[in-house]
Structure 1
């Protein structure tokens, strides 16, 4: 198997805990993808797909007999859907860049607006409840938290593909639930990377917000902002 065989089985022991190298490497690709998204670069999408493929096997610990030996079906399943949404975002951002002359950022940030938040909120509630019932039946570890992480992550990725600045806020909510779950399940590199992501997310939100105001103009910003968001951001 050579390199692939080593990558699949290789482990490192940290503080007495066996950690898969592919969990570490996969999360580093995920961090690189987050940085690319912050900079609105198209390469963020294919790099993210590499992360998704690697982490899919990591979170099926019971199936692949990893050191954690736990199955997080929401964490694993979202990697599959991430790939599909990433292809959508990749195509959308490439089309936007071509329309803009082939240079500069691939998307101009905007607010999702009231209609967007109705859409996001409805999917968040229905998706979380539905996934919770499925994951509980399958025996997923922490099914309710896993269900929100699965649903919220897809919504955040979809929001990024649409160019909605709000998607960073959804990621914050995902990280707030994800860190405790991953620590309880023993996926320590992923938990640490979630904390790092939280810092990147907060910074990314400020970067996109500044870009939105500079590139969309104050009128567009005020017109599409969610109710109450303008006053909060100015406070």
Structure 2
């Protein structure tokens, strides 16, 4: 067997559960990217892209012959959109670091942007649920919620909106039960770990944001 093929198909057996190592590795890259995002370092974006590529092959289960043999089109499709949005975030943070020295400065989104995010979440969930349902996705409605919320959160991170951490909480609340039920245990566990992590990240960004808006003392 080709070494690359063997690595691609490598499995971890835990009791009756069969887990692909590329699902574990892909999620590890996802966690590393989240840590980089919290620290506001540019390398968070390319690291995340690698994880997205691996996880795409996991969630297109029937196509890539995964143990679950389930197609979660929303989970798979969001990996592809993550790559696009991550390329945007990568470019934006690089430009910002070059111009101001900071890759991103956390701040609240405007009222208009918040209304836009809520509307996009509602409409996107309905539209993509119908699309995924037509494609034969397993769990189209939660899949659509996760898909739409993930793209909004990633875009919010690129723009430096502190609210993006809260969007991830909403994604995790739906993603954990869906992935456990589907047998994607590493991804489900990642969502659980990530739920605690995003609260920490939100607190870190909020502290940075408040520090940046504090008035500078004037020497007497």
Which category of TM-score, normalised to the shorter sequence, fits these structures? over 0.9
Residues 107-118 of structure 1: matches in 2 within 5 Å?
Answer: 107-118=104-115
Shift of 1:6: 2.2
Q: 1:150 and 2:156 equivalent?
A: no
Equivalent position of 1:180 in the other structure: 177
Instruction: Give the alignment's TM-score, normalised by structure 1.
Output: 0.89
Aligned partner of 1:33 in structure 2 is 33
Report what 1:71 is aligned to: 71
Q: Specify the alignment match of 1:208 in structure 2.
A: 205
DSSP-derived class of the 2:70 partner: coil
Gapped runs of 5+ residues in structure 2?
Answer: 216-220
Provide the rounded CA distance (Å) in 1 between the counterparts of 2:162 and 2:45: 17
Aligned length: 215
Question: Which ranges of structure 1 fall in alignment gaps of 5 or more residues?
Answer: 219-235
Residues 1-235 of structure 1 aligned to structure 2 (within 5 Å): 2-101=2-101, 105-217=102-214
Deviations 1:167-206 (A, max 9, x none): 0000000000000000111000100011111111010000
Distance 1:115 1:18 in 2: 46
RMSD: 1.1
